[in-house]
Structure 1
Amino acid sequence: MENTHILVQQADFNVADEYTQLNQDDSDGAIVTFVGKVRNRNEGNDVSQLTLEHYPGMTEKVLQELAQEARERWPLNHIRIIHRVGTMNLGEQIVFIGVTSQHRQAAFDGCEFLIDFLKTKAPFWKLETTDKGDKWVDARETDQHATSLWQ
């Protein structure tokens, strides 16, 4: 898909570099980005690490499909999605989503749509290392609710 860049990788990413890659077209009036990080608490537990696993090949396919659906809903120009896998420590970046459009509302909506659906549709599995031991993280009702609002 033209102007769509999707990566699933272990390595960290540089937000400034990703922004530069998005900022390529003078017709774009808006660039919206989202970065998700490993936080120190979840569901009342202290978290020290997060391990993300995925289904190679299928994950990228689902992310491409989500990008295509976002393009069908809004006039987006560039889309960049980077999602890390492997073990990450507190404060490390997990995911980058960036979109461009001629208008800010389309860019905001497209970016929010992508993160909402990525969290519920992409085949990632999260294992948290907590103060009470390792715990697989189930899908959250709030994430399911967020995607239902786009229906």
Structure 2
Amino acid sequence: MSISSAAAHLYALVTDAPLDEVAIRDAVDADECGALVMFHGIVRNHDGGKGVAALDYQAHPDADRFLRECVAEASERTGLRMAAAHRVGALQIGDAALVAAVSAPHRAEAFAAIEELVERIKAEVPIWKRQHFADGVSEWVGL
């Protein structure tokens, strides 16, 4: 697969709607790829030994651009098809907050690329999480 064909299939989205996991998968699916790896970041019910009741995600107005740049640059560097979407707003336990996908000819490169993409998104895209704990206390994470 050429770099240009990988970049042509770019899917990157920051949204307050539930994430469309099928669209993300479809964005990277290709006949020449024998591996398609997806990551689902799911809201869990605990953090740091405390019960979590819900989360709110807030995004910088340019978060969509930052996410698109992360996906495009990683795709161009590797020549692989990549896609990612991050949800913002009020999320409940079990909701998907981040879904990312990578397809590659072989599994090893797909697994390595998805890990690198997710770590880059977490480090570079200006989205912040407010955790609402079961005891009524809340705190911001990532500020």
Q: 2:60 aligns with which of 48, 55, 59?
A: 55
Q: Deviations for 1:38-69, whole angstroms, at most 9, x for unmatched residues?
A: 1111112211010000012x212221221233
Q: 2:85 aligns with which of 77, 82, 85?
A: 82
Give 1:132 deviation, angstroms. Answer: 4.6
Q: What is residue 116 of structure 1 aligned with on the other side?
A: 119
Give 1:5 deviation, angstroms. Answer: 0.5
Q: What is residue 4 of structure 1 aligned with on the other side?
A: 10
Give 1:72 deviation, angstroms. Answer: 4.0
Q: What is residue 3 of structure 2 aligned with on the other side?
A: none
Unaligned residue ranges in structure 1 (runs of 5+): 140-151
* Equivalent AA in structure 2 for residue 122 of structure 1: V
* Equivalent AA in structure 2 for residue 133 of structure 1: V
Unaligned residue ranges in structure 2 (runs of 5+): 1-6
Give 1:103 deviation, angstroms. Answer: 2.1
Q: What is residue 97 of structure 2 aligned with on the other side?
A: 94
Q: What is residue 37 of structure 1 aligned with on the other side?
A: 42
* Structure 1 ranges of 4+ moved more than 3 A: none
Q: What is residue 25 of structure 2 aligned with on the other side?
A: 19
Q: Where in structure 2 are the equivalents of 1:131-150 lying within 5 Å?
A: 131-138=135-142
Q: TM-score, normalised by structure 1?
A: 0.81
Provide the secondary structure at the position in 1 that maps to 2:72. Answer: helix
CA contact (8 A) 1:22 1:98 kept: yes
Distance 1:45 1:36 in 2: 19
Q: Deviations for 1:75-97, whole angstroms, at most 9, x for unmatched residues?
A: 30x22111000010111111100
Provide the secondary structure at the position in 2 that maps to 1:81. Answer: strand
Give 1:115 deviation, angstroms. Answer: 0.7
* Coordinate RMSD, CA, aligned: 1.7
* Equivalent AA in structure 2 for residue 87 of structure 1: A
Q: Percent identity?
A: 31
* Equivalent AA in structure 1 for residue 75 of structure 2: R
Q: TM-score, normalised by structure 2?
A: 0.85
CA contact (8 A) 2:13 2:64 kept: yes
